[in-house]
Amino acid sequence: MAKDARQRQKAALKRKKRELRKNEQKSKQRSSVMGGVAASPLKVLSELPIHECVISKGWEGRGLAHILLSRTLPNGKLAVGGWYLDTFAMGVKDAALLPGLDPAEYEERIKPNIFNDDVEFEDCEPALAAALVEGAAEYGEKLGFRPNKRWEESRSILTGIEPREDIPPFGKDGKPCYINRGETNSAAIIARLVRSVGEGNFTVEEDKEED
């Protein structure tokens, strides 16, 4: 019994060491995102001035929204949060927090091809962006679509922004609507909607822009 107890204790110590190493690594990563600022990352983010906030044109009609919110770091570079939203059904399709970008790189490389999609942006109120990002995540999760692993990190750049309350409803015509845009897993997406809301409680459409 004493030997088993020692083994459990050693195992517990190893787990703690692994957790400490992971936390240290995360702390270093967050510090690099903040341009080396040593204060609390969330507090620092909320105090950084917003460089710009943009959203893809025509997002309401398409049910797809590309959103970029950037803040200026003390060293002049940008911390950029990016989200690819399906406001009709799947919520947050992709998300990322991009650390320490040169403004020129942001304009020339990130904006023209965010999430490998060619979009045209227009100005967006940060409060609207925050509401759409948070709301899409909640809506998608209710339907069984969880954001990717980068979601939690990405939303940190929205710290300090009060989401707007008056935003368009998610879904289309009062129901979840899957727009088939040629995804290889379209059958699995439809099956998930069947499980979450049942047959007849959602719609499926083909993307006209794919023609």
pLDDT of 88 above 50: yes
Provide mean pLDDT across the span 146-172: 92
DSSP string computed for 49-71 = PEEEEEEETTHHHHTEEEEEEEE
Asked if 83 contacts 67 with a C-beta cutoff of 8 angstroms, the reply is yes
Asked if 68 contacts 81 with a C-beta cutoff of 8 angstroms, the reply is yes
pTM of the shown model = 0.78
Residue 31: per-residue pLDDT = 44
Q: Where are the domains of the chain?
A: 41-158, 177-210
pLDDT > 90 fraction of the chain, expressed in percent and rounded: 61
- CA pair distance 61, 134, nearest whole angstrom: 20
Element (H, E) at 7: helix 2-33
Residue 28: per-residue pLDDT = 44
- CA pair distance 155, 27, nearest whole angstrom: 17
pLDDT tens across 101-145, in order? 999 999 998 888 887 777 899 999 999 999 999 999 999 999 999
- CA pair distance 172, 192, nearest whole angstrom: 17
Provide mean pLDDT across the span 134-159: 93
Query: Within 10 Å of residue 44's Cβ, how many Cβ atoms?
Result: 22
